[in-house]
Amino acid sequence: MTPAQRSAELAANLAEVHARIGLAAAAAGRAPDDVTLVAVTKTWPASDVRLLAALGVTDVAENRDQEARPKHEECADLGVRWHFVGQLQRNKARSVAAYADVVESVDRPELVTALDRAAGEHGRVLEVLVQVGLADVPDGSPPAHRGGADPREVLALADVVAGCSSLRLGGVMAVAPLGPDGSPVDPRPAFARLAALAAEVRAAHPSATVVSAGMSGDLEEAVAAGATHVRVGTAVLGGRAGLR
Ligand SMILES: *Cc1c(COP(=O)(O)O)cnc(C)c1O
Protein backbone atom coordinates (compact mmCIF):
# COMPACT_ATOMS: atom_id res chain seq x y z
CA MET A 1 0.00 0.00 0.00
CA THR A 2 1.35 3.45 -0.88
CA PRO A 3 1.32 6.22 1.73
CA ALA A 4 -1.44 7.93 -0.26
CA GLN A 5 -3.59 4.78 -0.17
CA ARG A 6 -2.95 4.30 3.54
CA SER A 7 -3.82 7.94 4.16
CA ALA A 8 -7.11 7.55 2.26
CA GLU A 9 -7.91 4.43 4.29
CA LEU A 10 -7.17 6.19 7.58
CA ALA A 11 -9.21 9.22 6.49
CA ALA A 12 -12.22 7.02 5.73
CA ASN A 13 -11.89 5.21 9.05
CA LEU A 14 -11.53 8.49 10.92
CA ALA A 15 -14.64 9.88 9.23
CA GLU A 16 -16.59 6.82 10.31
CA VAL A 17 -15.36 7.02 13.91
CA HIS A 18 -16.09 10.75 14.10
CA ALA A 19 -19.58 10.06 12.77
CA ARG A 20 -20.11 7.42 15.47
CA ILE A 21 -18.88 9.83 18.16
CA GLY A 22 -21.12 12.57 16.76
CA LEU A 23 -24.22 10.38 16.80
CA ALA A 24 -23.52 9.11 20.30
CA ALA A 25 -22.88 12.63 21.57
CA ALA A 26 -26.07 13.96 19.96
CA ALA A 27 -28.09 11.10 21.47
CA ALA A 28 -26.71 12.07 24.87
CA GLY A 29 -27.37 15.76 24.36
CA ARG A 30 -23.65 16.50 24.24
CA ALA A 31 -21.56 18.44 21.74
CA PRO A 32 -19.34 16.25 19.54
CA ASP A 33 -16.26 18.29 20.49
CA ASP A 34 -16.83 17.35 24.12
CA VAL A 35 -15.25 14.05 23.13
CA THR A 36 -11.59 13.80 22.15
CA LEU A 37 -10.53 10.94 19.91
CA VAL A 38 -7.30 9.31 21.05
CA ALA A 39 -5.98 7.08 18.27
CA VAL A 40 -4.37 3.95 19.72
CA THR A 41 -1.42 3.38 17.40
CA LYS A 42 0.15 0.37 19.17
CA THR A 43 1.56 -2.20 16.72
CA TRP A 44 1.29 0.34 13.85
CA PRO A 45 4.34 2.16 12.47
CA ALA A 46 5.43 5.73 13.12
CA SER A 47 4.48 6.49 9.51
CA ASP A 48 0.83 5.96 10.50
CA VAL A 49 1.17 8.44 13.35
CA ARG A 50 2.50 10.93 10.83
CA LEU A 51 -0.43 10.33 8.46
CA LEU A 52 -2.94 10.58 11.32
CA ALA A 53 -1.46 13.87 12.48
CA ALA A 54 -1.77 15.24 8.93
CA LEU A 55 -5.43 14.16 9.02
CA GLY A 56 -6.04 16.19 12.17
CA VAL A 57 -5.53 13.63 14.93
CA THR A 58 -4.20 15.44 17.99
CA ASP A 59 -3.79 12.59 20.47
CA VAL A 60 -2.23 9.14 20.09
CA ALA A 61 -1.83 6.30 22.59
CA GLU A 62 0.66 3.49 23.06
CA ASN A 63 0.75 0.67 25.58
CA ARG A 64 4.37 -0.55 25.58
CA ASP A 65 7.37 1.59 26.42
CA GLN A 66 9.77 -0.27 24.14
CA GLU A 67 7.51 0.43 21.18
CA ALA A 68 6.36 3.92 22.17
CA ARG A 69 9.76 5.45 22.84
CA PRO A 70 11.29 5.05 19.35
CA LYS A 71 7.97 5.89 17.71
CA HIS A 72 7.77 9.11 19.68
CA GLU A 73 11.34 9.92 18.68
CA GLU A 74 10.50 9.53 14.99
CA CYS A 75 7.42 11.72 15.42
CA ALA A 76 8.75 14.36 17.80
CA ASP A 77 8.15 17.11 15.22
CA LEU A 78 4.41 16.45 14.94
CA GLY A 79 3.15 18.14 18.08
CA VAL A 80 0.66 15.38 18.91
CA ARG A 81 -0.04 14.47 22.53
CA TRP A 82 1.26 11.05 23.57
CA HIS A 83 -0.85 8.99 25.95
CA PHE A 84 0.53 5.92 27.71
CA VAL A 85 -2.28 3.43 28.34
CA GLY A 86 -0.50 0.15 29.14
CA GLN A 87 0.26 -1.54 32.40
CA LEU A 88 3.36 0.17 33.67
CA GLN A 89 6.18 -1.27 35.74
CA ARG A 90 7.80 1.11 38.17
CA ASN A 91 11.21 0.65 36.52
CA LYS A 92 9.78 2.01 33.25
CA ALA A 93 8.52 5.23 34.83
CA ARG A 94 11.70 7.13 34.03
CA SER A 95 11.54 6.19 30.36
CA VAL A 96 7.81 6.89 29.94
CA ALA A 97 8.04 10.21 31.79
CA ALA A 98 10.51 11.44 29.16
CA TYR A 99 8.02 11.44 26.29
CA ALA A 100 4.46 10.81 27.50
CA ASP A 101 2.18 13.80 27.93
CA VAL A 102 -0.53 11.78 29.67
CA VAL A 103 -0.15 8.54 31.61
CA GLU A 104 -3.62 7.00 31.77
CA SER A 105 -2.77 3.74 33.52
CA VAL A 106 -1.81 4.81 37.03
CA ASP A 107 -3.27 2.38 39.53
CA ARG A 108 -1.05 2.31 42.61
CA PRO A 109 0.83 4.73 44.88
CA GLU A 110 4.32 3.35 44.08
CA LEU A 111 3.78 4.22 40.45
CA VAL A 112 2.64 7.75 41.35
CA THR A 113 5.83 8.31 43.35
CA ALA A 114 8.04 6.91 40.59
CA LEU A 115 6.38 9.00 37.88
CA ASP A 116 6.52 12.17 39.98
CA ARG A 117 10.22 11.72 40.63
CA ALA A 118 10.98 10.86 37.00
CA ALA A 119 8.94 13.75 35.60
CA GLY A 120 10.70 16.12 38.00
CA GLU A 121 14.10 14.86 36.86
CA HIS A 122 13.11 15.44 33.24
CA GLY A 123 11.80 18.90 34.17
CA ARG A 124 8.35 17.98 32.94
CA VAL A 125 4.82 17.94 34.32
CA LEU A 126 2.86 14.83 33.41
CA GLU A 127 -0.89 14.59 33.26
CA VAL A 128 -2.03 11.47 35.09
CA LEU A 129 -5.31 9.59 35.00
CA VAL A 130 -6.20 7.12 37.73
CA GLN A 131 -7.11 3.85 36.08
CA VAL A 132 -10.13 2.27 37.72
CA GLY A 133 -10.48 -1.51 37.77
CA LEU A 134 -14.12 -2.30 37.02
CA ALA A 135 -14.08 -6.07 36.79
CA ASP A 136 -16.88 -7.65 38.78
CA VAL A 137 -16.32 -11.08 40.18
CA PRO A 138 -19.85 -12.37 40.75
CA ASP A 139 -18.87 -16.05 40.83
CA GLY A 140 -15.60 -15.62 42.69
CA SER A 141 -13.43 -16.48 39.72
CA PRO A 142 -10.55 -14.15 38.96
CA PRO A 143 -11.50 -11.45 36.44
CA ALA A 144 -9.66 -11.14 33.14
CA HIS A 145 -6.99 -8.72 34.32
CA ARG A 146 -7.16 -5.40 32.57
CA GLY A 147 -5.44 -3.32 35.26
CA GLY A 148 -6.81 -0.60 37.45
CA ALA A 149 -7.16 0.41 41.08
CA ASP A 150 -9.86 -0.98 43.34
CA PRO A 151 -12.75 1.52 43.03
CA ARG A 152 -12.63 2.03 46.82
CA GLU A 153 -9.05 3.29 46.54
CA VAL A 154 -9.50 5.64 43.60
CA LEU A 155 -10.21 8.81 45.55
CA ALA A 156 -7.22 8.30 47.86
CA LEU A 157 -4.98 7.64 44.86
CA ALA A 158 -6.29 10.79 43.16
CA ASP A 159 -5.36 12.74 46.29
CA VAL A 160 -1.83 11.35 46.15
CA VAL A 161 -1.47 12.37 42.48
CA ALA A 162 -2.85 15.84 43.20
CA GLY A 163 -0.23 16.30 45.91
CA CYS A 164 2.69 15.67 43.54
CA SER A 165 4.57 18.67 42.21
CA SER A 166 5.47 17.15 38.82
CA LEU A 167 2.09 15.51 38.15
CA ARG A 168 -1.26 17.02 37.26
CA LEU A 169 -4.39 15.01 38.04
CA GLY A 170 -6.40 14.86 34.81
CA GLY A 171 -9.19 12.50 35.86
CA VAL A 172 -9.97 8.82 35.51
CA MET A 173 -9.66 6.05 32.94
CA ALA A 174 -11.11 2.57 32.59
CA VAL A 175 -11.32 -0.37 30.26
CA ALA A 176 -14.69 -2.13 30.25
CA PRO A 177 -14.39 -5.55 31.89
CA LEU A 178 -14.65 -8.81 30.00
CA GLY A 179 -16.79 -11.75 31.04
CA PRO A 180 -15.20 -14.61 33.01
CA ASP A 181 -14.44 -16.47 29.76
CA GLY A 182 -12.93 -13.38 28.14
CA SER A 183 -16.05 -12.60 26.12
CA PRO A 184 -17.48 -9.08 25.86
CA VAL A 185 -20.25 -8.14 28.30
CA ASP A 186 -22.64 -5.16 28.42
CA PRO A 187 -20.26 -2.28 29.31
CA ARG A 188 -22.99 0.07 30.55
CA PRO A 189 -22.97 -0.84 34.26
CA ALA A 190 -19.19 -0.49 34.36
CA PHE A 191 -19.26 2.87 32.59
CA ALA A 192 -21.99 4.07 34.98
CA ARG A 193 -19.77 3.15 37.93
CA LEU A 194 -16.88 4.96 36.31
CA ALA A 195 -19.04 8.06 35.83
CA ALA A 196 -20.00 8.04 39.51
CA LEU A 197 -16.37 7.70 40.58
CA ALA A 198 -15.34 10.43 38.15
CA ALA A 199 -17.89 12.74 39.78
CA GLU A 200 -16.47 11.95 43.23
CA VAL A 201 -12.94 12.71 42.05
CA ARG A 202 -14.15 15.94 40.42
CA ALA A 203 -15.90 17.02 43.59
CA ALA A 204 -12.56 16.83 45.41
CA HIS A 205 -10.43 18.05 42.46
CA PRO A 206 -12.52 20.28 40.18
CA SER A 207 -9.93 20.43 37.40
CA ALA A 208 -9.84 16.62 37.04
CA THR A 209 -12.42 16.55 34.28
CA VAL A 210 -11.13 13.75 32.05
CA VAL A 211 -13.10 10.51 31.76
CA SER A 212 -11.21 8.21 29.38
CA ALA A 213 -13.43 5.27 28.43
CA GLY A 214 -14.59 3.52 25.30
CA MET A 215 -12.73 1.69 22.58
CA SER A 216 -13.64 0.54 19.05
CA GLY A 217 -16.39 -1.79 20.27
CA ASP A 218 -18.01 0.28 23.00
CA LEU A 219 -17.40 3.96 22.31
CA GLU A 220 -21.14 4.72 22.00
CA GLU A 221 -21.85 3.38 25.49
CA ALA A 222 -18.86 5.31 26.86
CA VAL A 223 -19.97 8.60 25.29
CA ALA A 224 -23.49 8.01 26.62
CA ALA A 225 -21.97 7.64 30.10
CA GLY A 226 -20.00 10.87 29.85
CA ALA A 227 -16.60 9.89 28.41
CA THR A 228 -14.53 12.92 27.45
CA HIS A 229 -11.88 10.80 25.70
CA VAL A 230 -12.35 7.62 23.67
CA ARG A 231 -9.32 5.43 22.89
CA VAL A 232 -9.84 3.89 19.50
CA GLY A 233 -7.39 1.53 17.80
CA THR A 234 -8.94 -1.03 15.47
CA ALA A 235 -11.70 1.17 14.07
CA VAL A 236 -9.14 3.79 13.00
CA LEU A 237 -6.05 1.77 12.07
CA GLY A 238 -7.42 -1.69 11.28
CA GLY A 239 -7.08 -5.07 12.97
CA ARG A 240 -3.88 -5.77 14.85
CA ALA A 241 -1.89 -8.95 14.32
CA GLY A 242 -1.61 -11.01 17.47
CA LEU A 243 -3.44 -10.60 20.74
CA ARG A 244 -2.87 -7.05 21.87
C1 LIG B 1 -5.61 -1.36 22.59
C2 LIG B 1 -6.28 -0.48 23.55
C3 LIG B 1 -7.37 0.32 23.16
C4 LIG B 1 -7.97 0.31 21.77
O5 LIG B 1 -8.66 -0.87 21.54
P6 LIG B 1 -9.48 -1.10 20.18
O7 LIG B 1 -10.46 -2.15 20.54
O8 LIG B 1 -8.49 -1.56 19.16
O9 LIG B 1 -10.12 0.17 19.81
C10 LIG B 1 -7.93 1.17 24.12
N11 LIG B 1 -7.47 1.21 25.39
C12 LIG B 1 -6.43 0.45 25.80
C13 LIG B 1 -5.98 0.56 27.22
C14 LIG B 1 -5.80 -0.41 24.90
O15 LIG B 1 -4.79 -1.17 25.33
- Decide whether any atom of ligand 1 lies within 6 Å of the 234 Cβ: yes
Give the pLDDT confidence of 88-99 residue by residue, as tens digits. 999 999 999 999
Per-residue pLDDT at 243: 47
Q: Is the CB of residue 175 below 6 angstroms from any atom belonging to ligand 1?
A: yes
Which ligand 1 atom minimizes the distance to the CA of 105? 13
Task: Tell me the pTM.
Answer: 0.94
Which atom of ligand 1 lies at the shortest distance from residue 217's CA? 7
The CB of 129 under 6 Å from ligand 1? The reply is no
Q: Which residue has its alpha carbon closest to ligand 1 atom 6?
A: 233
174 lines ligand 1 (CB under 6 A): no
**Average pLDDT across the chain, whole number:** 94
* pLDDT at position 189 over 60: yes
pLDDT at 14: 98
Q: Whose CA is nearest to atom 4 of ligand 1?
A: 233
Domains and CATH numbers, the chain: 3-238 (3.20.20.10)
Average pLDDT of the residues in 175-186: 87
Q: How confident is the model at residue 10 (pLDDT cuts 50, 70, 90)?
A: very high
Residue 147 CA: which ligand 1 atom is closest?
Answer: 13
Report whether pLDDT(204) > 60. yes
pLDDT in tens, 19-37: 999 999 999 999 999 999 9
User: For 116-132, how does the pLDDT look when each residue is reduced to its tens digit (9 = 90+)?
Assistant: 999 999 999 999 999 99
Instruction: Give the angle subtended at the CA of 79 by the CAs of 117 and 163, to the nearest 5°.
Output: 25
Instruction: Answer whether 40 contacts ligand 1 (Cβ < 6 A).
Output: yes
Ligand 1 centroid, distance to 40 Cα (angstroms)? 6
Atom of ligand 1 nearest to the CA of 234: 8
**pLDDT > 60? residue 57:** yes
pLDDT band for position 136 (50/70/90)?
low
Give the ligand 1 atom nearest the CA of 237.
Answer: 8
State the pLDDT at residue 244: 46
More confident: 175 or 138: 175
63 lines ligand 1 (CB under 6 A): yes
